[in-house]
Structure 1
């Protein structure tokens, strides 16, 4: 065998060792969420995963688990704090299990448009101080992604609080959401998202409330065909990293992963906002009855006691949030 041929074989072997070492060095990070694979949340998570791998030069690979494979939303936040998973994305109200003041982001009718919501979440000084409590609780908010405004899907028509009386509605475990739905007249049933479709189908609950993208991706309109656009809560979804994971990252990789999360936000915000009418039209074509103009003033009046109840528990923070939200509503129509 010639020296040239031996050198060529050695080069190929060395390249193989180098590639194997690089593959071995790559760290896989788990990203768990509860949305379906066809939902906007999953699309955003997949884009985030590609960006992380690119921006860390392949040192990190994000594996996305959708559809509650690794747990429901409260479980994901719990596992995030413990370091059992590396990322999750969920409603602000779910993080309230660890930072109770975030319940105030679930107060009813404080945000009227997407543009107002984006300004509030990007610029609120109060909210930043709440997010800054995350690392002490075991997680760190990287960016705020989008889910949209929460709306109702029920078996029977729903136009106002009178139609809510005596009906049991599924929601997620959040104190502020429970207060306002009960104030509207509903009975409340807490259950994980994957159980909701069957629960409605079997009559255990009369319906549920969620953003339009979640309603569409989970096909809740099939078993609760009356879709009522109450827009009772603006519900973006902060994406968070486990603090245990964060502390293992180099400063460069911390910066890269934060950049990836923040770059996804405008994409998902536009996707959700632009898709609302399209998804409603698709659901209508499949038999849903969309009530675009329910008696919102009656709903607003029914939940007025919620603000006083919130003040009893959360004190001055309530008026801080209401004041910031009012300023945003005035600045952005």
Structure 2
């Protein structure tokens, strides 16, 4: 019977290929947290799928020196705790709506500014424009690295009539998703409700809210068709576009090797094509899902979109630009990118 000693282990490692020695010495396990329903690489909410695809590809490219555990459905920590945990280095990665951190970092609310982004082309162009570079710099200063740029169009699920024109929300309890979205809704006469998207179903089921604005994917994944009689889709245009990136703690990122960092950023960038296609597919698919339950499905027309945008400019945009010089600069850069 042979005895496996520390000397035997070190000898075996020394005679192994260099890449294996590196992987052994630097093997790191990272946690990815998100609020969305669990699935697989092939099926389910595309945001969960993207996290799983990212983990598998990075592990392969780093030859196992980086491994990942996925925690869907807020199973690791509460939804609203994720951003702060990453900024402190207490959480490695998360795919999270950026505006959820808007209470502490007002600049990030530009990621859900009503009417500012009205197409995928415009949103994804931010990455290489000054507005995107400035947003990335602000996040880096807060301890956050953008790994994948992900934009999603959204619509409105309603317990009653379809929400198309601004006057349609008057007197209703509505979830917008950000301070700025709420300002626009208040001006239109709504009573705003603040809940993360994974809690909308319960709120609409109990009557705590009458309508909710959220992404097409969340309108499907959180089964809001079960508690809705009407749906206004974002497939023909939307004033609700959410920046919902895959993020990483800068403190954790900075501890990795250059090769590991390069693998993370390369895979993150490559998955943006998948994210955009999947989001657009959900914009179309959501209509079918709701029609099957008998809900009334409508699209937002250009005239209504313009009305919402005019309200947003006078309320949300104005308020955001007046919060501080950094917000004013970001807004000006975003308007240049329109």
**TM-score after normalising by structure 1:** 0.84
Describe the superposition over 1:32-80 as per-residue Cα deviations: whole angstroms up to 9, x where unpaired.
Answer: 0111122110011110000110111101111111111123443110111
In the alignment, what sits opposite 1:64? 70
Q: Distance in 2 between matches of 1:310 and 1:100?
A: 8
Classify 1:126/1:193 alpha carbon distance in 2 versus 1 (closer, same or farther; 3 Å). closer
Q: Distance in 1 between matches of 2:32 and 2:111?
A: 24
1:90 aligned to 90, 96, 107, which one?
96
Residue 151 of structure 1 aligns to a residue in which SS?
strand
Describe the superposition over 1:160-208 as per-residue Cα deviations: whole angstroms up to 9, x where unpaired.
Answer: 2222111111244x32122122123211111233332111111111121
Classify 1:105/1:154 alpha carbon distance in 2 versus 1 (closer, same or farther; 3 Å). same
1:232 aligns with 2:239: yes
Structure 2 matches for 1:306-321, cutoff 5 A?
306=315, 307-314=317-324, 316-317=328-329, 320-321=332-333
Residue 195 of structure 1 aligns to a residue in which SS?
helix
In the alignment, what sits opposite 1:10? none
Measured after TM superposition, the shift of residue 97 of structure 1 is 4.5
Report if aligned partners of 1:88, 1:239 keep a CA contact under 8 Å in 2.
Answer: yes
Classify 1:47/1:269 alpha carbon distance in 2 versus 1 (closer, same or farther; 3 Å). same
Q: Distance in 1 between matches of 2:155 and 2:57?
A: 32
In the alignment, what sits opposite 1:300? 309
Classify 1:319/1:51 alpha carbon distance in 2 versus 1 (closer, same or farther; 3 Å). closer
Structure 2 matches for 1:280-295, cutoff 5 A?
280-293=287-300, 295=304
Measured after TM superposition, the shift of residue 247 of structure 1 is 2.0
Structure 2 matches for 1:273-284, cutoff 5 A?
273-284=280-291
Classify 1:236/1:308 alpha carbon distance in 2 versus 1 (closer, same or farther; 3 Å). closer
Q: Distance in 1 between matches of 2:159 and 2:246?
A: 32
Structure 2 matches for 1:1-333, cutoff 5 A?
26-37=27-38, 38-97=44-103, 99-119=105-125, 121-146=126-151, 148-157=152-161, 158-172=163-177, 174-229=178-233, 231-293=238-300, 295-306=304-315, 307-314=317-324, 316-317=328-329, 320-326=332-338
Greater displacement, 98-107 / 153-162 = 98-107
Report if aligned partners of 2:172, 2:210 keep a CA contact under 8 Å in 1.
Answer: yes
Report if aligned partners of 1:30, 1:63 keep a CA contact under 8 Å in 2.
Answer: yes
Q: Distance in 1 between matches of 2:140 and 2:208?
A: 39
**TM-score after normalising by structure 2:** 0.83
Describe the superposition over 1:63-105 as per-residue Cα deviations: whole angstroms up to 9, x where unpaired.
Answer: 1111111234431101111222210112232344454222233
Greater displacement, 315-324 / 132-141 = 315-324
Number of residue-to-residue matches in the alignment: 313
Measured after TM superposition, the shift of residue 229 of structure 1 is 2.9
Classify 1:204/1:99 alpha carbon distance in 2 versus 1 (closer, same or farther; 3 Å). closer
Q: CA RMSD, aligned part only? A: 2.8
In the alignment, what sits opposite 1:330? none
Residue 183 of structure 2 aligns to a residue in which SS?
helix
Describe the superposition over 1:140-166 as per-residue Cα deviations: whole angstroms up to 9, x where unpaired.
Answer: 1122023x1122111111232222111
Structure 2 regions of 5+ residues with no counterpart? 3-7, 39-43
